[in-house]
């Protein structure tokens, strides 16, 4: 098989009278508390603005991720070294200042980062001015603690003026880091919006809509309740795809959407499509970008099952392992390879994972032991 997205695989109301869906109902999809994806009013512009503001703030607090925290740590070290260099008198003094500054900066940063991360839920709910002031104050206190440690070790003079200078420097560095994170979040939003649009165009293909409607039409006379279920599942897929969502949903929510999609396809393919779900409850709460699994399962259907005369088998498995949630979508391959694709959908999935989790998330796709595997890993 030849992929559309990869050298080896392509791209990818009232419930009382509702006909039952094609698998067990999930209260979360019906508007239960705790859902970040399905409870929103879809076309409220004020709510959309609020969602975007929360999204941007969430991106700023990504400094709690190890990869971004390391960048902050290195940036503070560089700033401290550059600030002390002009005051040095000779190479020996420069080296001494650099060592003391690096130690104090490291101590202060390692105090500030955990404090901000621990207070993240509370800070995120505060007004912007209060939140910014508290972050600056935390930076000043962390720098003061770093200076006090150096003074206790006899590395710097214990003068009060030095203490005040450390507080001001720490507040300035905290403000600089927070401003940089804000610029980073603002730059990421249009990138993500573009990725979502391209993903939407590549995901909701006319052929799927045509086939789903034909399936429902064929069931209207013989099984009206199932036809209604198909249309409701289809409507849910489109409702989510066209909605403004936050920066992340849970893996459990993504699995629900993938089940809706594959249930529609199973009606169309019948026994030609074999589905296996192997889900680990421990991985259900992992944060993932909205609509990140659907392109993968659609690729599996379109390029693994549909071209094969005898159909094929799709296995979707999740598991928690060493602080990571692992999602694996595996499909059989047809005897005759199809046309190669351009890789847009998989590239969008990888980019959206990067925007949410930086380098902590990965996407690997390829053929192994005669099966095509798409594997996502995200932090728990």
Average pLDDT over residues 211-237: 76
Q: Which residues pair with residue 276 across a beta bridge?
A: 315
Instruction: Give the best-scoring range by mean pLDDT among 9-18, 39-48, 141-150, 305-314.
Output: 305-314
Which CATH number does the domain 27-40+204-379 belong to among 3.30.70.580, 3.30.565.10, 1.10.1060.10, 3.20.20.70?
Answer: 3.30.565.10
Please, which pLDDT band fits residue 279 given cuts at 50, 70 and 90? very high
Residue with tokens 């070290």: 77
- Ramachandran area for residue 338 (φ above 0: left; ψ -120 to 50: alpha; else beta): beta
Tell which wins on pLDDT, 191 or 216: 216
Structural domain spans, the chain: 27-40+204-379, 53-186
pLDDT at 26: 36
How is 258-272 classified by DSSP, letter by letter?
HHHHHHHHHHHHGGG
Element (H, E) at 204: none
Asked if the model's pLDDT at residue 125 lies above 80, the reply is: no
DSSP state of 375: E
Average pLDDT over residues 33-39: 37
pLDDT at 243: 57
Residue with tokens 């694996």: 328
pLDDT at 91: 76
CA atoms within 13 A on the CB side of 55: 25
Asked if the model's pLDDT at residue 3 lies above 50, the reply is: no
C-alpha dist (Å) from residue 48 to 60, 182, 212: 19, 19, 30
Question: Counting Cβ atoms within 10 Å, is residue 174 exposed (0-12), middle (13-18) or buried (19+)?
Answer: buried
Average pLDDT over residues 11-20: 42
Percent of the chain past pLDDT 90, that is, above it, reads: 13
């Amino acid at each position: 098989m030849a992929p559309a997205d990869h050298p080896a695989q392509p791209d990818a109301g009232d419930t009382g009278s509702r006909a039952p869906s094609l698998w067990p109902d999930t209260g979360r999809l019906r508007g239960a508390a705790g859902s970040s994806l399905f409870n929103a009013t879809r076309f409220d512009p004020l709510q959309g603005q609020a969602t975007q503001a929360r999204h941007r703030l969430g991106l700023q607090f990504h400094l709690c991720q190890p990869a971004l925290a390391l960048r902050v740590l290195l940036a503070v070290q560089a700033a401290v070294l550059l600030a002390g260099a002009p005051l040095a008198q000779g190479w020996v003094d420069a080296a001494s200042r650099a060592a003391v500054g690096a130690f104090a900066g490291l101590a202060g940063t390692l105090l500030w980062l955990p404090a901000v991360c621990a207070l993240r839920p509370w800070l995120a709910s505060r007004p912007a001015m209060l939140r910014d002031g508290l972050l600056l104050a935390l930076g000043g206190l962390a720098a003061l603690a770093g200076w006090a440690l150096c003074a206790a070790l006899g590395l710097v003079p214990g003068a009060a003026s030095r203490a005040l200078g450390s507080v001001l420097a720490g507040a300035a560095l905290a403000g600089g880091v927070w401003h940089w994170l804000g610029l980073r979040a603002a730059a990421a939003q249009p990138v993500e919006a573009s990725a979502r649009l391209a993903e939407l165009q590549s995901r909701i293909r006319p052929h799927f809509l045509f086939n789903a409607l034909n399936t429902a039409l064929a069931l209207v006379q013989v099984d009206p309740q199932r036809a209604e279920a198909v249309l409701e599942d289809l409507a849910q897929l489109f409702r989510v795809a066209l909605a403004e969502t936050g920066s992340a949903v849970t893996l459990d929510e993504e699995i629900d959407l993938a089940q809706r999609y594959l249930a529609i396809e199973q009606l169309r393919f019948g026994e030609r499509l074999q589905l296996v779900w192997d889900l680990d409850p421990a991985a259900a709460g992992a944060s993932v970008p909205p609509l990140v699994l659907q392109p993968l399962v659609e690729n599996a259907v379109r390029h693994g099952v549909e071209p094969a005369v005898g159909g094929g088998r799709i296995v979707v498995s999740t598991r928690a392992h060493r602080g990571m949630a692992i999602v694996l979508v595996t499909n059989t391959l047809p005897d005759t390879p199809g046309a190669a694709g351009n890789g847009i959908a998989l590239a969008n999935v990888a980019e959206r994972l990067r925007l949410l989790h930086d380098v902590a998330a990965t996407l690997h796709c390829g053929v192994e032991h005669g099966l095509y595997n798409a594997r996502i890993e995200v932090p728990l």
